[in-house]
């Protein structure tokens, strides 16, 4: 059996991509997207029709007098949902669609945006049970997710790098978290100047600690390792609730045969001697300030996703200008 086949027996495999063809190839249960992945997919010629149709819909809604920037802004909000709808026609489970990263420190705006995203899916006849609203794991974002969860809107808290973030998410009743394994490794390699074997990879150890804490104290929040740099990180987390994996690493796992032992087990984790950590805003901020890696990577991740969104808006504004000109000539 391949490593991928064995992994599927103990962990829910999720595709981390906006590439619909890649999802069709690997047939994961769920799929996740983020601003960078949607931007990359939108730039692929094979998805130009999705982009153009979304832009034309935004133009029709706003009218001929609306500026290209206004049309692009509306289309940008809807493009991730358009990709999500097509992904949901393939996968049997859920798709994660991300709230604008520029709202990461605004609880009220994140709540409003989450509701808007769900409304778009429900208007298309897709149940909210098949959507995970993706929000950055800031204190403000976690509070927004707690409100949305009470409304039956399930959330995936992303850009998660520290145990303090994971605990706050679980106590807010979040459905799922996405600790970023590879980005944690990146930080430690840069900070220490050394390489790490998979078993001692700081990202792997971070996810194990979160998984152990959740199972020890009976939290229902699911752990989905994300942002992998190599297959060793993935195999060291075999048994995790879910793992979201890029198409390239899925292909590598699918092409490799061997024995894949289970590394994370809920029964074993429940016997841990880890102690409960009380969590409120003050404790969260103190732990975040003390954790240089989490502090750096959360800020960097929000900045990176925000930059991707600005790039996508610019791309869409240029494209609608071309489409408008073509419409006039026709």
Asked if 191 and 247 count as a contact pair (C-beta separation under 8 A), the reply is no
> Are the beta carbons of 327 and 60 closer than 8 angstroms?
no
Helix (H/G/I), strand (E/B), else coil: 226: strand
Residue 265 CB burial class (10 angstroms; 0-12, 13-18, ≥19): middle
3-state secondary structure of 196: coil
Within a 13 Å sphere around the CA of 59, how many CA atoms are in the beta-carbon half?
18
Active site residue 134: yes
Helix then strand then coil, in percent of the chain rounded to 5, is 60, 10, 25
66 DSSP assignment: S
Compute the distance between CA of residue 185 and CA of residue 226 in angstroms, rounded to an integer: 12
Alpha carbons within 13 A on the beta-carbon side of 127: 6
Active-site residue identified among 134, 215, 263, 297: 134
Any idea which residues carry the catalytic annotation? Answer: 134
């Amino acid at each position: 059996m391949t490593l991928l086949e064995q992994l599927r027996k103990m962990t829910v495999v999720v595709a981390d991509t906006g590439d619909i063809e890649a999802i069709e190839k690997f047939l994961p249960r769920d799929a996740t997207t983020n601003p960078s992945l949607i931007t990359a997919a939108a730039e692929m010629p094979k998805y130009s029709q999705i982009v153009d149709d979304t832009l034309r819909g935004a133009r029709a809604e706003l009218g001929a007098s609306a500026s290209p920037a206004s049309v692009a802004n509306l289309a940008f909000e809807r493009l991730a949902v358009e990709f999500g709808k097509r992904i949901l026609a393939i996968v049997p489970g859920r798709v994660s669609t991300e709230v604008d990263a520029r709202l990461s420190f605004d609880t009220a705006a994140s709540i409003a945006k989450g509701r808007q995203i769900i409304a778009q899916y429900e208007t298309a006849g897709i149940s909210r049970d098949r959507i995970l609203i993706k929000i950055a794991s800031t204190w403000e974002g976690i509070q927004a997710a707690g409100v949305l969860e009470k409304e039956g809107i399930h959330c995936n808290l992303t850009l998660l790098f520290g145990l303090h973030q994971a605990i706050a998410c679980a106590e807010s009743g979040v459905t799922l978290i996405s600790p970023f394994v590879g980005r944690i490794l990146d930080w430690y390699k840069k900070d220490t100047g050394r390489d790490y074997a998979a078993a001692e990879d700081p990202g792997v150890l971070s996810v194990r600690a979160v998984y152990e804490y959740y199972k020890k104290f009976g939290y229902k929040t699911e752990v989905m390792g994300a942002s992998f740099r190599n297959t060793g990180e993935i195999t060291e987390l075999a048994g995790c609730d879910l793992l979201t994996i890029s198409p390239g690493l899925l292909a590598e796992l699918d092409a490799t045969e061997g024995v894949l032992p289970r590394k994370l087990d809920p029964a074993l984790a429940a016997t841990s001697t880890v102690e409960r950590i009380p969590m409120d805003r003050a404790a969260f901020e103190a732990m975040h300030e003390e954790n240089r890696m989490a502090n750096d990577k959360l800020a960097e991740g929000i900045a990176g996703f925000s930059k991707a969104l600005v790039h996508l808006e610019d791309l869409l504004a240029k494209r609608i200008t071309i489409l408008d000109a073509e419409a006039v000539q026709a």
